[in-house]
Chain A
Amino acid sequence: MAVTSFTFALFVAALLHASVARSQPVAVEASQSGGYSTEEIAAVATQFRGFGEVTPARLRFNVEAAWGTRTAGRTDVFGTAYPYTGPLQIIEAYGERTFLPGGALFGVKAGRYRTPFGISSASDHAYMGFMRAPLIRYDNYFALSNTFLEHGVDLIAGTPHLSVEASAGVPGDVGTAIRRPGLNTVLRGQAAFGPMIVGVSRIDTQPYQNPRFARGNAVFNGIDVRFMQDGVQVRGEWIDGRPFDGTTTTGGYLDLIVHRPRMGPVTAVARAERLFYDAAPPFAMSVRRYTAGTRIRIIDQLAAQVALVHQSRQIPQRRPTALDLGITYSIRR
């Protein structure tokens, strides 16, 4: 990646200086996470985030960087939202401005940002009980990677309850799934009805697989639903598309996340998911995975996660059933 840690440091320093010069609030967060899975995989990662607002333009900025390392290479264990491929990398660095004229909603975002397809994985940083990306969002299964990043411009228009979002850019991916250069477009529509949010997304992009066999564009369509009431959240995505010409990948997941008043610091989570990869044998896959777990906020800055995972034997792994343990410590200044 052309953007080095030094450039990142300069960028953050410039943003902080610009904001401080105008006496605007700037926040910096750091999260340290570590995990161990009975698949005999251990991981540690650090995430930094700086964000704030520059007036009088009311331009918000967000910079996020992450570093991670893991005792195994190609695995989705602990890979919820960013890769474990060594040095500090910029995950996001963008500015955004939102307008709310007369009940309407308009927004523009430019820079480096997560691909706005489906339910954003950014909120899964440092684990929320699930410590693996959904099968359909993990790149090693010919799916739509959750570490795709765009260098581009993203526009949103509509109302707070009904909006359309369009992004155009070039790939800025991190990790092992690096798309070829070219124009990416993402379209997303989202509607909210009381406690429910429904979204549809479409991405037309370049494949990340070897160009010797992966020809054509990668195109995926998805529908996502979130429902939340009284501390019970149900969310899911179903995605269908082709990672490259001549193949299709279809799959989705359904999550249940429960945090009721009597549960105190405990959040219970469960996930059921499926993935189908339709390709010539022996590459075709039809797999399932089930997860049950919990996230416990031990103190305000410290959270522990435990997840029991049972998955199809066709998924590369040491055992079909595994226990993932994670811990996250977050600080903010």
Chain B
Amino acid sequence: MRWLPLVVGALLSASSPSATVGSFELTGTVHAGGRPKGDAIVWLEPASGRAAAQAAKAKKVVLDQRTSTFFPHVLAVQVGTTVDLPNNDRVFHNVFSFHDGKKFDLGLYPVGTVRRVTFDHSGLSRIFCNIHPNMAAYVMAVDSPYFGVSDSQGRFAIASVPPGTYTYHAWRAGAPEVTGATTVEAGKPLEIAWP
């Protein structure tokens, strides 16, 4: 029976989104004013008539607090995802979001402890700390399993995208959202540009 775990593993792997037949990693770049832009969120909405977005994966998502700063500064999650907000600092924090998106106030909590927030509807949440006014982060909850955040070179990657036609959305702080249509196919990058 030593082969049983291998078979079970193979079956699970075949049924997971990352192993969807014909799907691949969509890559691309984000530019603004002709320069690459990091911390931009890109997500795809499947075209109408296609299967609805998959349920949020059980993958652990963390918005860390270190050196009186949130890491990462920009986080994208699928609607329904629960995000861990651990305090890995040496001081207390009081994380809250009062404006758009998910509204919450986690209260004071010390180093070594974790609070959790489920982002149960789509939209942008601005995250702050009541004690340290310079701490700020963005969490974008999207109603799609296909999303990515650009790195400092403006590059992003979205895993396991089935080929087809999608509406893409792109967001970055301080800029209007960019929307358009794209056909996802092997070897074709998605280029996002703000003027």
Which A residues lie at the B interface, using CB under 8 A?
25, 27, 29, 31, 51-53, 60, 62, 96, 98, 100, 103, 105, 107, 109, 120, 122-123, 125-126, 128, 156, 160-161, 192, 194-197, 226, 228-231, 233, 257, 259-261, 263-265, 267, 295, 299-301, 303, 330, 332-333
CB-contact partner of B130 in A29, A62, A231, under 8 A: A231
Binds A, one of B1-9, B62-70, B115-123, B158-166: B62-70
Residues of A within 8 A of B69 (CB): 27, 29, 51
The contact string, 1 if C-beta is below 8 Å from chain A, for chain B 52-87, is 000000000000001111011100000000000000
Interchain CB contact under 8 A, B98 and A259: yes
Known: A60-B67, A62-B67, A228-B130. Is A100-B111 also a contact (CB below 8 A)?
yes
Does chain A have a CB within 8 A of B133? yes
* B132 at the binding interface (Cβ < 8 Å): yes
B134 CB-CB contact with A under 8 Å: yes
- B188 part of interface (Cβ distance < 8 Å): no
Query: Whole-angstrom distance between the alpha carbons of A259 and B92 in the complex?
Result: 18
Interface of B is mostly: loop
Interface pair B91/A126, CB less than 8 Å apart = no
Given contact pairs A228-B94, A231-B105, A300-B126, A105 touches B112 in the complex (Cβ within 8 A): yes
Give the distance in Å from the alpha carbon of A229 to the alpha carbon of B106 in the complex: 9
Q: Using A25-B71, A192-B108, A300-B173 as known contacts, say yes or no to A123 and B132 having CB atoms under 8 A apart.
A: yes
Q: How many residues of B contact A (CB 8 A)?
A: 33
B96 lies within 8 A of chain A by Cβ: yes
CB–CB A230/B105 < 8 A: yes
Contacts of B134 in A (CB 8 A): 29, 31, 123, 125-126, 330
Q: Could you tell me the distance between the alpha carbons of A301 and B73 in the complex, rounded to whole angstroms?
A: 13
